[in-house]
Amino acid sequence: MKIKLTNIRRKSKKLIILIPVFLLCILIFSCLNLKKKDKEVIVLDNFSYISKTIIGSDEIPLHGLIFKEKDGIGKDAIEEALNLINEYLGNGCATVDENGKVLLSLTEKEVKRLPRKQRVFYRVINEVVASSKETIISISKDSEFVVVGSAFYNEIDISDVNHFGTGKICNKFSVFAHEIKEQQLLQRGKDKNPHLAGILVEEEMLGYTRSYFDSSDLKKVRFDDVSKKWICTGFIYSFFEKGSRKIELSVRIDTNNIVGKPKKKNIR
Ligand SMILES: [Zn+2]
């Protein structure tokens, strides 16, 4: 009887050890299975995305920000636009895929670490990049038909943008963000004043309000039959205000292309 009792005790001791080990095994097994399922889902998603973009690129609308090549110099111009974004946000975060779709690869942490002005710039560009609707912009260089940006041609002349340099009142980054915002709203067709939205982006970035625009020193050179607009040479003056300060920025134009750096003059 004694022997039997010790046998039962031994058996129950074994059971006490074995049951938790068994349960642990079940837990590990189910975790591994879950991981496997996760992987399968990701693979399927990637595959369906790739097949959509390759096979059905005509049927499935592109979304986000698309840079289009223009007149054989498109690749260079697109490269310059990406360089501008990367110069401001760093880490070579902006690239384009084979469809010209702009990709921004900053993590949330990296965005949080950006200085305030750069964060506003990032937000404006990323709103277009991450949008479910597409904004298609032709990027050109030294275009005779476009001064900085054109609503008619859906175009940004990146050489004109780059002439604004890195100043504090108005610079190539604020001008670029203005144009991207304006093109996005223009192409959506709902906003009544896309240009004003662009001005507000500049103001949020650099703190200066662009108050008005004087083009009385601009002379007509010839007429563009397509856009029904004049190609001009001369000066345009923009005025920026911050508190009691007022600054004039004069930009020299030669047949719709900006020449040299814009000149600053304190008005008050
Ligand atoms: Zn504008």
- Ligand 1 centre to CA of 264 (Å) is 20
How many angstroms separate the Cα of 55 from the Cα of each of 78, 166, 240?
Answer: 25, 43, 50
Q: In the structure, what pLDDT confidence band is assigned to residue 4 with cuts at 50, 70 and 90?
A: low
d(CA 118, CA 34): 40
- Ligand 1 centre to CA of 182 (Å) is 6
- Ligand 1 centre to CA of 11 (Å) is 84
Choose between 190 and 195: higher pLDDT: 195
pTM: 0.77
Percent of the chain with pLDDT over 90: 71
- Ligand 1 centre to CA of 199 (Å) is 7
Average pLDDT over residues 135-157: 95
- pLDDT tens digits, one per residue of 36-88: 433 332 222 222 222 223 333 444 567 999 999 987 777 899 999 999 999 99
Choose between 34 and 88: higher pLDDT: 88
- What pLDDT is stored for residue 3 in this prediction? 52
- Ligand 1 centre to CA of 261 (Å) is 19
- Ligand 1 centre to CA of 194 (Å) is 7
**Averaged pLDDT score across all residues of the chain:** 84
Average pLDDT over residues 132-151: 95
Q: Among 9-13, 228-232, 250-254, which is the least confidently predicted range?
A: 9-13
- Ligand 1 centre to CA of 1 (Å) is 98
- Ligand 1 centre to CA of 177 (Å) is 10
Q: In the structure, what pLDDT confidence band is assigned to residue 124 with cuts at 50, 70 and 90?
A: very high
d(CA 151, CA 196): 13
Which is nearest to 241 in space by CA: 214, 202, 195, 210? 210
Is it the case that residue 35 has pLDDT exceeding 50? no
Average pLDDT over residues 209-216: 92
- Ligand 1 centre to CA of 44 (Å) is 43
- Ligand 1 centre to CA of 218 (Å) is 18
Average pLDDT over residues 125-134: 96
| Ion ligand 1 — residues with CB < 5 Å | 182, 195, 198
